[in-house]
Structure 1
Amino acid sequence: MSLAEKKLGIDRVVFIGRTFEEYRAMFNLNEKYLKGKKVLDCASGACSFTAHALQQGTEATSCDIAYKFTAEELEKKGSLDLIHTMNQMQHVQEQYVWKYFSSIDDLTEHRKRALKDCIAHMKKNPEAYQYGALPNLPFQKNEFDLTLCANFLFMYSDRLDYTFHLEALKELIRVTKEEVRLFPLTNLSGKISTYLRQLLEEIAPLVKGTEIADVPYEFQKGANQMLKIYV
């Protein structure tokens, strides 16, 4: 059992996801850049990035701790998690920027669509959804051109400690040969993770460089930057 499984069991993982369009905004991606690349989405949850990227000429793979369960089990869990999450959103609306999404109803429709597209694609293409848990991924060194990590590292700094973040970053770097992108850099409270500065110092000898870049997406207040790691 990995460190992630010990610290973040499946019963504590909310299986909801973001749409392909959100990924493009969160990571400032375009079709020309993605076309022909081999891309890993980790930890991908119920996101529909892989489903749509594959249709547009990107060799995409999703990886998540949740994928040891069947698509049918995840579909049921995702539907229940979505109801619970949207109910909770009613109490914390002031923590979010309502521009990309016009309302909670609009947000709900996006999350439903991501889940629907992810599950439908998973049922037809199970090989694109690999079970794995950071910091030990089932992939070869330099297997992917680009690795994306959304709404996991930094966000859960209260549950996953500094050592986990460092080992997870090293693993994402190991499986990537060009670039790793992480979004956001904030924790659940909307503050820049206290781990960020030290992590950048520790991974510096392992990579060609790093960059903190603004992105055209902000839902949680203050979460409008990504980390780019040039491998």
Structure 2
Amino acid sequence: MSLEENRLDLSRIIFIGRTFEEYMAMFGLSEEELQGRTVLDCPGGACAFTARANALGVQVVSADIAYGYPIRALKEKGLEDIRHAMDQMEKARTGFNWEYFSSVEELREHRERALQECTADMARYPERYVPAVLPVLPFDDGRFDLTLSAHFLFMYGDRLDYDFHLKTLRELLRVTRKELRIYPLVGLSGERYAQMDDLLNHIREEGCTAEEVQVPYEFQKGTGRMLRILKG
């Protein structure tokens, strides 16, 4: 599957996001770490991170294939996707840790809050939300101090091939001056991305250092680690 196939078909794009608090836990971040840094969230989806971080004075830009669509359509799609996801969640409860969220209803509230914060911020500050189709980003080399990438690479290892993963990883690093963090390291089945070691060998040969780091967030079982890559 190529992301180009999704460019003109909103029905094939999932528009669900996480709250600011989830992002901070997923990436092991503190507000102090963010201060004074330029940050890219890619793909940003319906996440509230860009809205809340900018409100704290952090310079954050979000990029996603979905941002080429009207905000009203994205909000409607987001609500539809949340309903579908919650219906599926009832059938798959055993694959998740119910500590961060105590119930499916609480999870729904978080997803709807993230969507509301994201779309409201998009309407007020559209320049923060940049349409982009990976593995190509419309930013200069080293544009951001820190890049965050959640629930995309590795999650779809059964659909997006190794070449796509490598090209996307290189592109994320191209626009990053210092550090890239990716979460999680497993696919939808909960298994670690099968070609992770090959991918990391490529990146290390190109002068980066990489480590897998335990983080204080694991909703889907097996997702409690992120990848932290530092540019040499």
TM-score, with structure 1 as normaliser:
0.97
Match for residue 229 of structure 2?
229
- Separation (CA, whole Å) in 1 of partners of 2:69 and 2:103: 32
Query: How far apart, CA to CA, are the structure 2 residues paired with 1:10 and 1:157?
Result: 22
Cα offset, 1:70, TM superposition: 1.1
User: Which 4+ runs in 1 deviate beyond 4 A?
Assistant: none
Cα offset for 1:207? Answer: 3.2
Alignment of 1:82-97 (within 5 A): 82-97=82-97
Tell me how far apart the structure 2 counterparts of residues 7 and 158 of structure 1 sit (CA, whole Å).
17
Structure 1 residue identity aligned to 2:165: H
Summarize the alignment of residues 150-229 of structure 1 with structure 2, pairs less than 5 Å apart.
150-229=150-229
Give 1:7 shift: 6.8
Residue 3 of structure 1, CA deviation: 4.0
Question: Cα–Cα, structure 1 residues 63 and 30, in superposed 2: closer, same or farther, change >3 Å?
Answer: same
**Which secondary structure does the structure 2 equivalent of 1:177 belong to?**
strand
Match of 1:5 in 2: 4
Cα-to-partner distance string for 1:119-175 (whole Å, 9 max, x where unaligned): 000000000000001110000000000000000000011111100000000000000
Q: What letter corresponds to residue 145 of structure 2 in structure 1?
A: D
SS in 2 for 1:90: helix
Query: Is contact 2:6–2:13 with CA below 8 Å preserved after alignment?
Result: no
Contact 1:3 1:134 in 2 (8 A): no
What is the CA-CA distance between 1:14 and the residue it aligns to?
1.2
Aligned twin of 2:108:
108
What corresponds to 1:126 in structure 2?
A: 126
Give, as a single letter, the amino acid of the residue that structure 2 aligns with 1:162. Y
Compute the TM-score of the two structures, normalised by the length of structure 2: 0.96
Counterpart residue number, 1:77: 77
Closer, same or farther: CA 127–203 of 1 in aligned 2, 3 Å: same
CA distance in 2, matches of 1:120, 1:194: 38
Amino acid at match of 2:52: H
Partner of 2:51: 51
Cα deviation for residue 5 of structure 1 reads 1.9
Q: Which residue of 2 aligns with 1:40?
A: 40
Distance 2:113 2:4 in 1: 27
Aligned-partner Cα distance in 2 for 1:59–1:191: 34
Report how many aligned residue pairs link the two structures.
230
* CA contact 2:6–2:12 (8 Å) conserved in 1: no
How far apart in 2 are the matches of 1:204 and 1:35?
28
Q: Measure how far apart 1:180 and its partner are.
A: 0.3
Distance in 2 (alpha carbons) for counterparts of 1:226 and 1:22? 13
**Long gaps (5+) in structure 2:** none
Do 1:10 and 1:65's aligned partners in 2 also have CA atoms closer than 8 Å?
no
Moved more, 203-212 or 135-144: 203-212
Secondary structure at the aligned position of 2:91 is classed as coil
In the alignment, the residues of structure 2 paired with residue 143 and residue 190 of structure 1 have an alpha-carbon distance, to the nearest angstrom, of: 33
Counterpart residue type for residue 82 of structure 1: I
Cα displacement (A) at 1:195: 1.9
Percent of aligned pairs with the same amino acid? 49
Structure-1 separation of matches of 2:70 and 2:206: 37
